[in-house]
A and B are shown apart, each in its own frame.
Chain A
Amino acid sequence: MSAWALVVVFVVAGAVGYRVIRGVPPMLHTPLMSGMNALSGVTVLGALVTTAAALTTGSRALGALAIVLATTNVAGGFLVTHKMLRMFKKE
């Protein structure tokens, strides 16, 4: 994908995210933040591709570390968010 197309994706996605999140009530701000936090572990996609393409042992080790960190972020983030959201009950 060309550089400019990627910049467009960046801007559009940012604007969409901004609009969608604005409606979340303060009550759900902690789970929202924790859920968004889990999503920021999406960087695991980059870590996977980079590690697979890494040329040196050092880079591969660093890549493996990046995958571990990112998946901890993703798995832990989604699980605690789930744990929190399940507690919200109506009368």
Chain B
Amino acid sequence: MPAFAHNTTAVLLVLGIVAGMRLMNSPRTAVKGNLLGSFCLLAAIILTLTRHGLMTRGTLWASMAVGASLGAALAARAQMVHMPQLVALFNGLGGGASAAVGLIVLLQASGGVDLFGRLGSALALSVGGATLSGSLVAAGKLAQRLPQPPIRLRGHTALTMACLSGNVVLLVLALFPGPGAGSAVAFLMLLAALCFGILLAIRVGGADMPITISLLNSLSGLAASVAGLALRNPLLVAVGAIVGAAGLILTQAMCRAMNRSVLAVLAGSTTQAQQMSLDRARTETPAAPAAPEHKLSPEFILETARKVVIVPGYGMALAQAQYQVKALFEALEHNGKEVTFAIHPVAGRMPGHMHVLLAEVDIPYDRLCEIDDVNPEFPETDLVLIVGANDVVNPAAATAEGTPIYGMPVLDVGSAKHVVVCNLDDKPGFAGVPNPLYTHQGVVCLWGDAKQTLDDLVTYLGGH
């Protein structure tokens, strides 16, 4: 294929991918957008193979067939509740592939790779390596194969900085390869990058996971893009950069939703157990009015309410109670009530996690409301039903200075007439801050497995 035709096709494919991303703006067109994206990527593979005269290389096709079947098998078995760890795992694999590309180029650096090529491959190796190990640790945490609370080693920050600066030094060394030492430098660089990724990810606590996942997602795009710089492949540079920018936006959105900075999350300073301020939060929270003699029964509240808002949280995912939520939604609708869902941007373990779980059980997406739209509605709401949500409805976020959730915008459920909490227990959420909401007047708590609790409510409504 002549160079002109090749370049034109490459530009068209990039435009196709951008158009596909634009279609992701609305749930009506998003399926098409994803299909367009995957088609463009397939075309890009064929274009690259043709360009380099590799269409007949059997080993390349065989390797791709193995990867494609692996991916298809993992995707086929995936349940919605496992989506965060699966995305993290895939992300790590992409990062690993970029690191491997960088490593191969560096190992052969004597073979006529110029300074720019070496810089690109050294960056691909570093960023890809950190993405690989960081994503695998994140996936392990999300799948609960690794301990959930942040792990802080002795001198954690110093170690992290040592890995980072070691990596930078090695990167500079790799730019000017002396005789013989090239491969040692490359492998040490990989080691430093892997350690950096691990140190970064083990220090992040459960509640900060959405931010970490977004950031790692951005890094895998960046790794692909710099690998493209090394190989002088503009298609790879462009698509990688687009993905990197997209991950950056999600990271920003998550940080805004939690009112914290990326640096604070990465430094682990937000998830640190800060016992002193927790104690202060406990004492400073205005004493709840003495519990009234008889609280209204949840059944009575449910029956008399007209406007109901359901607030799902990660607990719903853990209890796999989204089917019961759907049953309750239908029962309430059937009884003529107006039902909507209020979804906090960081509810769950990745951005948009709750929306996917509710879509899985066929809850129409136009009933899912964002925090800014729903907060003004709470004063006119008769009943807020909390299912496995804690930190995102914790009013202490406004007052408990120094705690991980301080300053985070929360769902203002306290201003509704009644609140029924269907959580497992009254323990603090991932942020570790006790929730004073539970003792407020007008709040009824039904502790226990949300599946059972909701089933009981559905049965009650069904009997009327």
Contact = CB atoms under 8 A, between A and B. Distances in A.
Contact of B103 (A29, A44, A62): A62
Interface of A: 1, 3, 5-7, 9-18, 20-52, 54-56, 58-60, 62-91
29 contacts: A11-B241, A13-B14, A13-B237, A23-B22, A26-B253, A27-B368, A28-B26, A34-B87, A35-B37, A37-B90, A38-B38, A39-B243, A40-B95, A41-B90, A43-B223, A46-B224, A49-B54, A52-B52, A52-B60, A56-B108, A64-B59, A66-B101, A70-B93, A70-B94, A76-B70, A80-B87, A87-B359, A87-B360, A91-B366
Contacts of B318: none
Contacts of B44: 42, 45
Interface string B411-453: 0000000000000000000000000000000000000000000
Nearest to A19: B245
A71 B230 CA distance: 20
B164 interface: no
Contacts of A41: 41, 90, 93-94, 97, 224
Interface of B: 14, 17-18, 21-22, 24-28, 30-31, 33-35, 37-38, 41, 44-45, 48-49, 52, 54, 57, 59-60, 63-64, 66-72, 74-76, 78, 80, 83, 86-87, 90-91, 93-98, 100-101, 103-105, 107-108, 111, 116, 124, 128, 213-214, 217, 220-221, 223-225, 227-250, 253, 343, 345, 350-353, 355-356, 359-360, 362, 364-368, 370
Contact residues of B: prevailing secondary structure: helix
A26 B351 contact: yes
A40 B227 contact: no
A48 to B, nearest CB: 6
Given A34-B87, A45-B233, A70-B93, A62 B217 contact: no
Nearest to A63: B104
A25 B108 contact: no
Given A6-B232, A82-B31, A87-B360, A44 B45 contact: yes
A40 B361 CA distance: 29
Nearest to A11: B241
Contact of A29 (B98, B243, B253): B253
Contacts of A33: 87, 213-214, 217, 247, 250, 350-352
B205 to A, nearest CB: 20
Contacts of B17: 39
Nearest to A60: B59
Contact of A80 (B75, B227, B236): B75
Contacts of A79: 71-72, 75-76
